[in-house]
Chain A
Amino acid sequence: MITKLFSSTVILGILASGIRLATPYLYAAIGETFGQRSGVLNLGVEGQMLLGAFAAFYVSWRTGNLWLGLLAAIIVGAVMGLAMAFVTVNLHAEQGISGIGFYLFGLGMSDLLFQKLVGTVKTIQGFPALHIPVLSDIPVLGEVFFSHNILVYGAYALVPIAWFVLNKTTLGLKIRSIGENPQAADSLGISVAAVRYYTIIQGGILSGIAGASLSIGLLNVFQQNMTSGLGFIAVALVYFGAWRPLGVLGGALLFSMVNAFQLWLQVLGVPIPSDLAVMLPYVLTILVLVAAASKVRAPSALAKPFEREA
């Protein structure tokens, strides 16, 4: 049975599903990376994802148009981001606590809406796999890399774009400076509030898409608390990736591969208690964070509200 695990079909299967499963992590964690680089810790990612997942599912289900569903997730994410920005930037709320508030709101609200508007679990037809011409015909590799739905490709495209924006643009320079020393940025006439509004709203949008990638891309259903901690792992991945998009990519892949691995363990009926298998990625999160701790410094102003005196 163990030997079956190492057959080429299984390994390729793990790779392909690992690549696919990294999608929600990537959207959410890249969004969080921007927020944290600007000094804002958003622990509400999970809630934003849940509402995004529901909005995408519901609108797609009602209209039959997946793109409208995705748009709904984006709008819901943006509104959640706007609320979060107002609370943290204008009201100087404690970011960790208000983030948890947003999480609980998203968790409860998405379930309530689901009960009221949908009722029972329904599946829909999500985004279909998009076989990239020529590339997807390559034996083996084509299946693993080039036969995913559009949201998966989008997630991977986001990584170099995020790197580029953070490191090569004037906006990226502003974001990084505000996360390190908002007083300095302020003294140069940069609006700390405006930049933080931007990163928090963008983070909300990406979390919304992350949710959509589950409900209308990977799983094609909506269920209560369907993200089950994924948003929190995305926050952890930002630390793991040392606040760099490439590091976040590495972390997301590692986790989704482990996740894919444990799913296959269960599929193949390897005699490991399934609860233990499910725990695997979470235990790994903790171990990796402990190992990564103190190697890289967090943005100095992370989670500190900014206020010009008097």
Chain B
Amino acid sequence: MSHKQDVLPSARAHIETVEMRGITKRFPGVLANDHVDFDVHAGEVHALLGENGAGKSTLMKILYGLYQPDEGEIYINGQPVTIHSPSDAIRLGIGMIHQHFMLVETMTVAENVALGLPSSRGFLTDLDVVSQRILALADIYGLKIDPNAYIWQLSVGQQQRVEIIKALYRGASLLILDEPTAVLTPQEVDELFAIMRQMTQDGHALIFISHKLHEVIEISDRVTVLRDGRKIGTRPTSETTKSALANWMVGREVALTLDREPVEVGDVRLALENVHCGSDRGTPGLRGVSLEVRGGEILGIAGVSGNGQRELAEVITGLREVTEGKVILEGEDITALLPGERTDRGLSYIPEERMKDGIIQDFTVAENLILREHHKPPFSYRGFLNQRFISQHSAELIRAFRIKTPSQKTLAKNLSGGNIQKIVLARELARHPRVIIAAQPTRGLDIGATEYVREQLLEQRRQGVAVMLISEDLDEILALSDRIAVIYEGQIMDILPNENVSVERLGLLMAGVREPAEAQA
């Protein structure tokens, strides 16, 4: 096995310690970081924990030169440094994997890695040399990657590897990982952790952000907790537990288990009959899906990402064309109806990609909260918006859903990831829906918010709403669902009642394996 130094184009300054002292950052109406001290050293994983909007990404963007702090200093190996831009950070040996990936989809892996770096051939690109180095680096860290593949062809997990290689290639000695696991499957998380362990053994310093406490316990050496922009403290991970972390972070007791009391099941609210549809890559998206969801029940859709979950949500909400079969809402065939007409009939949708499909980034929080209903009384009369009612309504929702925002008039894009999700949730749940399609509703949410969302879904169930919960998080599916449908390559493998189902059985179904006994039957 070759060594890193032989592969990399130029050795960067090695980072032994990074210290951030007294970092303060203000945004209009928000104190995102309030005199935060944070440090990390070579060979460790330092986890950064905190609720949505606590200021984690802000602190890391300051370290990477994307934001300038209002106060505070940064020291590398004891020397004060100023980081004006990402190029300063890269020069100092800092790399960052962003919460939202920074890749050019229409370019290849090698092109993305080579971007902005001096070439060995002067002004000509040297993609063949870069490709070889990528393969050599990939070999050292056990990353499988094809340098000539286009980014759009890669799965999310693979794209993340490209991000890691990009940073390593630039000689990053410190790597910041901002919620790297939020979009990964459990297997991909294991692979990422293996890579991270290899990196710390190699003397890298890692900063790891996640809302999943078991991951923090598993991978980190130290944990720092932020709350409302302030640092609460730092502890060695070995001296803490999951529930201790949860309470420390939220500042109160958090119930990590939910009780799903029995509820009377009503009529069929949503039914799919032999539904087929295409997908974005031209492969069949859904291939004959039939299922029913009744009022007062939660149907969980379990499966590895990319097996038709997205398409399933889209055919129900009307965003994707059905090529064969029917979608039926409360007895009415809605296959040909527009999304808005379905909404008016009581269908609510919590989309997976909330940044893109769930909100309008340049609208205010209040405007986003009334997107669905703005054309109806009491929100508007004869085309005129009723501002008084809208602001009163928004204020109520902001309070009820604990949306952290400086004001109703703040643009949605300036909220933290978790709070954007809360806007979508508040809007979709507050309108007394008949059927809810919830796709990855807790992805990227902190534990307090996750608990809240799950309770809300159970509350809807109690009120007799039919809920379809699409999630890649098996724990979530098991905690909330009455029945569990497993989706694999666009087909429903099986639908099981959520009583004594074994995780192994679900895992096999998710991998496309029916149990032998059943296959014979």
Is B98 on the interface with A (CB-CB < 8 A)? yes
* CB <8 Å contact, A188 and B116: yes
Main secondary structure of the interface of A (DSSP, over half): helix
Q: Smallest CB–CB gap between B406 and chain A, Å?
A: 14
* CB <8 Å contact, A310 and B87: no
Is A143 on the interface with B (CB-CB < 8 A)? no
Known: A187-B66, A310-B67. A168 touches B98 (CB 8 A): no
Is B501 on the interface with A (CB-CB < 8 A)? no
* CB <8 Å contact, B107 and A176: yes
Number of interface residues of A (CB under 8 A): 24
Question: Which of B64, B106, B118, B119 gathers the greatest number of chain A CB atoms within 10 Å?
Answer: B106
* CB <8 Å contact, A190 and B105: no
Q: CB-CB < 8 A to B111: which residues of A? A: 173, 177
Q: CB-CB < 8 A to B64: which residues of A? A: 187
Known: A181-B102, A183-B102. A190 touches B125 (CB 8 A): no
* CB <8 Å contact, B107 and A177: yes
Which residue on chain B has the smallest CB distance to residue A188? B116
* CB <8 Å contact, A188 and B67: no
Known: A181-B103, A184-B102, A310-B67. A189 touches B124 (CB 8 A): no
* CB <8 Å contact, A190 and B66: no
Is A174 on the interface with B (CB-CB < 8 A)? yes
Which residue on chain B has the smallest CB distance to residue A308? B66
* CB <8 Å contact, A189 and B105: no
* CB <8 Å contact, A185 and B123: no
* CB <8 Å contact, A187 and B125: no
Q: CB-CB < 8 A to B85: which residues of A? A: 189
Known: A190-B116, A310-B27. A181 touches B105 (CB 8 A): yes
Q: Smallest CB–CB gap between A13 and chain B, Å?
A: 42
Which residue on chain A has the smallest CB distance to residue B26? A310
Which residue on chain B has the smallest CB distance to residue A169? B123
* CB <8 Å contact, A184 and B104: yes
Chain A, 158-188, CB within 8 A of any chain B CB: 168-174, 176-177, 180-181, 183-188
* CB <8 Å contact, A177 and B125: no
B123 contact from A171, A188, A309, Cβ within 8 A: A171
Q: With A and B bound together, what is the CA distance between A254 and B119 in angstroms?
A: 38
Q: CB-CB < 8 A to A183: which residues of B? A: 102
* Chain B interface category by residue count: 20 to 34
A174 contact from B103, B105, B116, Cβ within 8 A: B116
Chain B, 115-133, CB within 8 A of any chain A CB: 115-119, 123-125
* CB <8 Å contact, A174 and B123: no
Could you give, for residues 58-86 of chain B, a 1 whenever the CB lies within 8 Å of some chain A CB and a 0 otherwise?
A: 00000010111000000000000000011
* CB <8 Å contact, B86 and A189: yes
Q: With A and B bound together, what is the CA distance between A53 and B115 in angstroms?
A: 38
Q: With A and B bound together, what is the CA distance between A174 and B123 in angstroms?
A: 11
Q: CB-CB < 8 A to B27: which residues of A? A: 310
Q: With A and B bound together, what is the CA distance between A168 and B111 in angstroms?
A: 11
Q: With A and B bound together, what is the CA distance between A310 and B26 in angstroms?
A: 10
Known: A190-B116, A308-B66. A180 touches B90 (CB 8 A): no
Known: A180-B104, A181-B102. A173 touches B124 (CB 8 A): no
Could you give, for residues 202-223 of chain B, a 1 whenever the CB lies within 8 Å of some chain A CB and a 0 otherwise?
A: 0000000000000000000000
* CB <8 Å contact, A170 and B90: no
B96 contact from A177, A181, A187, Cβ within 8 A: A187
Q: Smallest CB–CB gap between A164 and chain B, Å?
A: 9
Q: With A and B bound together, what is the CA distance between A38 and B89 in angstroms?
A: 24
Q: With A and B bound together, what is the CA distance between A169 and B68 in angstroms?
A: 33
* CB <8 Å contact, B102 and A170: no
Known: A185-B115, A190-B115, A308-B66. A170 touches B123 (CB 8 A): yes
Q: CB-CB < 8 A to A189: which residues of B? A: 85-91, 116
Q: CB-CB < 8 A to B115: which residues of A? A: 173-174, 177, 184-185, 188, 190
Is B164 on the interface with A (CB-CB < 8 A)? no
Is B134 on the interface with A (CB-CB < 8 A)? no
* CB <8 Å contact, B116 and A185: yes
Could you give, for residues 130-174 of chain A, a 1 whenever the CB lies within 8 Å of some chain B CB and a 0 otherwise?
A: 000000000000000000000000000000000000001111111
Q: CB-CB < 8 A to B298: which residues of A? A: none
Q: Smallest CB–CB gap between B222 and chain A, Å?
A: 26
20 contacts between A and B (CB under 8 A): A169-B123, A169-B125, A170-B117, A170-B124, A171-B123, A173-B111, A173-B115, A176-B104, A176-B106, A183-B102, A184-B103, A185-B104, A185-B116, A187-B86, A187-B98, A188-B90, A188-B102, A188-B166, A297-B106, A310-B67
Q: A: which residues have CB within 8 A of B?
A: 168-174, 176-177, 180-181, 183-190, 297, 300, 308-310
Besides A184-B112, A187-B96, A310-B67, 16 other A-B contacts (C-beta < 8 A): A168-B125, A170-B119, A173-B111, A174-B116, A180-B107, A181-B102, A183-B102, A186-B86, A188-B87, A189-B85, A189-B86, A189-B88, A189-B90, A190-B115, A297-B106, A310-B68
Q: B: which residues have CB within 8 A of A?
A: 27, 64, 66-68, 85-91, 96, 98, 102-107, 111-112, 114-119, 123-125, 166
